Structure 1
């Protein structure tokens, strides 16, 4: 099993990138890979309860469905700590399963050989 990080930096400012990031993350976790979605900058909003409910790029499943399916399939959802703090988000504001982490967690995961793709 490989370790994969899908880094998503976009939200409603670029719903195409946000959606594609979760499409790839779902493909990764569905193929049995240990998969982390790391949300940073504007992407942290995707973990806020209710935020992704109305994002639906033509040709793709609604983003909330992609996010829910990812978590239910065993994917890990990390939210950048300084990015969340800047945007006044705390864990109680986030969807179930989302965890606020510092950069050290991401670096440790990458140092264990994880490949990373960014959106």
Structure 2
């Protein structure tokens, strides 16, 4: 059984290097065979919407859209329910494959056996 990697990213356009690092680690985790769960919180919540990741630019980094697509293909992407509510984002608004869930599920994932958790 693959190890699980739970990554919570709070940064978006406001802290592009931290944001890019979180998505890069998530995509590399997927490529390495880890079971990846990427949580979008705070300013990264906007990347749950179609087209938003494609607008992100950071020199010398992989396109955020490609990194997110890799995680969506083989991992789980979750938008924080409170973050979604504060931004008036609903299930109908998010890109395919993104779920909306709250702190209870995040804690459940982090406390599971064989889990590594990272916060950016």
TM-score after normalising by structure 2: 0.92
Deviation string, structure 1 residues 29-70 (Cα, Å, up to 9, x no partner): 111111100111111111111212121211111111111122
- Tell me what 1:60 maps to: 61
- Tell me what 1:43 maps to: 44
- Tell me what 1:85 maps to: 85
Equivalent residues of 2:36, 2:71 under 8 A apart? no
- Tell me what 2:95 maps to: 95
Q: Secondary structure at the match of 1:26?
A: helix
Residues in 2 aligned to 1:54 and 1:42: alpha-carbon distance in whole angstroms: 14
Residues in 2 aligned to 1:45 and 1:82: alpha-carbon distance in whole angstroms: 13
CA RMSD, 1 decimal:
1.1
Aligned positions of 1:65-76 closer than 5 A: 65-72=66-73, 74-76=74-76
Residues in 2 aligned to 1:108 and 1:12: alpha-carbon distance in whole angstroms: 28
Please list every run of 5 or more consecutive structure 2 residues that lacks an aligned counterpart in the other structure: none
Runs of 4+ residues deviating >2 angstroms: none
Q: What is the total number of aligned residue pairs between the two structures? A: 118
Q: Secondary structure at the match of 1:91?
A: coil
